[in-house]
Amino acid sequence: MRFDIITIFPEIINAYLNESIIKRARERGFLDVCIHNLRDFTEDKHQKSLPESKRSFGRVDDRPFGGGPGMVMKVEPIVKAIESICGSRTSAFTDNIAEVGLPHIVVLDAAGKRFDAKKAQQISKKYNHVILIAGHYEGIDARLKKALSSKYTVQSISIGDYVLTGGELPALVVLDATARHIPGVLGDKDSLEEKRYGVGIPAYTRPEVFEYDGKNYRVPKVLLSGNHKKIHEWRRVHKK
């Protein structure tokens, strides 16, 4: 599965992707993630011949029509980034990106549809190429979704009823939660909590007795019994 992330802070994305399970999944070829700096798509054409250090870049944001505080992300650079991604002829899995098909566009938006485990599983099964757009400021020009919908499937997603300073964290949440459902990413399919007992089951490890502030905190005896039937029942009962 391929993910492309459009952002104005690629370092934030890189820091997370270069660690732990996601890093290993990329190295083993189960997951292809490409990061695109939105500012690269605002460059003036006549400055292409200049050294990179002397090039000036356009803006990714501007004042909102109708007045009001803050800035709004411009539509043109984002569309250019998407068209560049889709026009690319290479990916980690094929020499022809056309074989991957048109991508599913996800706009990270506090007003979007609530993201959950079911949605993550749906995305992993339905699409093999997803573009995540990390918004900022007062949001993205509303014409973006209307324009893209004429060609792509577009969805606005929120990770919760709160507002963050940018869409990088939500983009990583969607990527991480979705990637877990891709075969091979976790190594063992039984590692999916959703496939076992669900999330929220109490877990314990060594030592069997933990002492703190004069009190002993013990592992439930049933987990030490070796009786798998009783352990299974205990976990089922204690699922939150």
The Cα 224–Cα 64 span in angstroms is 62
pLDDT in tens, 117-153: 999 999 999 999 999 999 998 899 999 999 999 999 9
What is the structure's pLDDT at 239? 81
pLDDT in tens, 36-81: 999 999 865 544 555 655 555 578 999 999 999 999 999 999 999 9
What is the structure's pLDDT at 218? 97
Confidence label for 224 from pLDDT (cuts 50, 70 and 90): very high
Percentage with pLDDT > 90 across the chain: 74
CB count within 10 Å of CB 96 equals 10
More reliable by pLDDT, 178 or 44: 178
Number of residues that make up the chain? 240
CB neighbour class for 140 (10 Å; exposed up to 12, middle 13-18, buried from 19): buried
More reliable by pLDDT, 193 or 223: 223
* The pLDDT of residue 200 is above 90: no
The ranges assigned to domains in the chain are 2-191, 197-237
The Cα 21–Cα 63 span in angstroms is 40
Average pLDDT (193-197) is: 60
Mean model confidence pLDDT for the chain: 88
* The pLDDT of residue 193 is above 80: no
Q: Which superfamily does CATH assign the domain made up of 2-191 to?
A: SPOUT methyltransferase, trefoil knot domain (3.40.1280.10)
Global confidence as pTM: 0.85
What is the structure's pLDDT at 89? 46
The Cα 144–Cα 112 span in angstroms is 14
